Amino acid sequence: MPDPRNKVVFAAVAAVAAALVVGLTVSIWQAARARNAEQAAREKVALAVAERNTAVEARRAADLQRALAERKLYAASMNLVLPAWEQNNLGRVRQLIEETAASPQRGFEWYYWQRQTHLELMTLRGHLGAVLRVAFSPDGQRIVTASEDNTAKVWEAASGKELFTLQGHSNHVY
């Protein structure tokens, strides 16, 4: 007959072995869950980093496109200034200059046209008919105007003061 003490020892050893097997099984299961959760977290972080990088690149590309569009708009506006100037459309020239005043692309051309629109305008008054021709003296000191009123007038270019009138013509002066 077996010894009852052996049964107790056997039962104790079996209980310890069962506890070790259960503990080992639970530990392996928990480690697998932790590893899977850690892998999922790494994948989420990697996905978030990739999305952030994509967003940064998209923003950078959008900024470059915006800068390119601004440069093209500025260039187009400056290309419209000369035709407006040649058509004596000072209002349009001023509008184009004002629209591009905040542009970071402003260059010498912008400052040139801005100065042109702020020159003092001088109106020479004195002819009774339409002025048909205007000429400057070679030294730029005098202006001569010819009119339908059968006169020519000589003006001081700097001040616009009438110096004298050439009268006695029998027809329009050209």
**Which residue type does 27 have?**
S
30 in any annotated domain:
no
For residue 147, give the nearest of 160, 159, 165, 163 by alpha carbon.
Answer: 165
Do residues 97 and 115 make contact, with C-beta atoms less than 8 angstroms apart?
A: no
Kindly report, residue by residue over 47-58, the tens digit of the pLDDT: 999 999 999 999
Rounded distance, CA 144 to CA 35, Å? 97
> Residue 125 — very low, low, confident or very high, per pLDDT cuts 50/70/90?
confident
146 has pLDDT over 60? yes
166 in any annotated domain:
yes
1 has pLDDT over 60? no
Rounded distance, CA 147 to CA 133, Å? 7
Q: Does 136 share its domain with 165?
A: yes
Kindly report, residue by residue over 30-72, the tens digit of the pLDDT: 999 999 999 999 999 999 999 999 999 999 999 999 999 999 9
How many domains, in total, are found in the chain? 2
Rounded to whole angstroms, the maximal C-alpha distance in the chain is: 162
Rounded distance, CA 24 to CA 65, Å? 60
36 in any annotated domain:
no
Do residues 154 and 163 make contact, with C-beta atoms less than 8 angstroms apart?
A: yes
At 4 the pLDDT is 66
For residue 115, give the nearest of 100, 94, 95 by alpha carbon.
Answer: 94
17 has pLDDT over 70? yes
Q: Does 79 share its domain with 105?
A: yes
Domain around 129:
123-174
Q: Does 145 share its domain with 129?
A: yes
Could you give the C-alpha distances from 45 to 26, 41, 60, in angstroms and in order?
A: 28, 6, 22
Rounded distance, CA 109 to CA 85, Å? 13
149 in any annotated domain:
yes
Count the alpha carbons within 13 Å of 28 in the hemisphere toward its beta carbon: 5
Q: Does 128 share its domain with 105?
A: no
Rounded distance, CA 121 to CA 40, Å? 76
For residue 133, give the nearest of 94, 108, 169 by alpha carbon.
Answer: 169
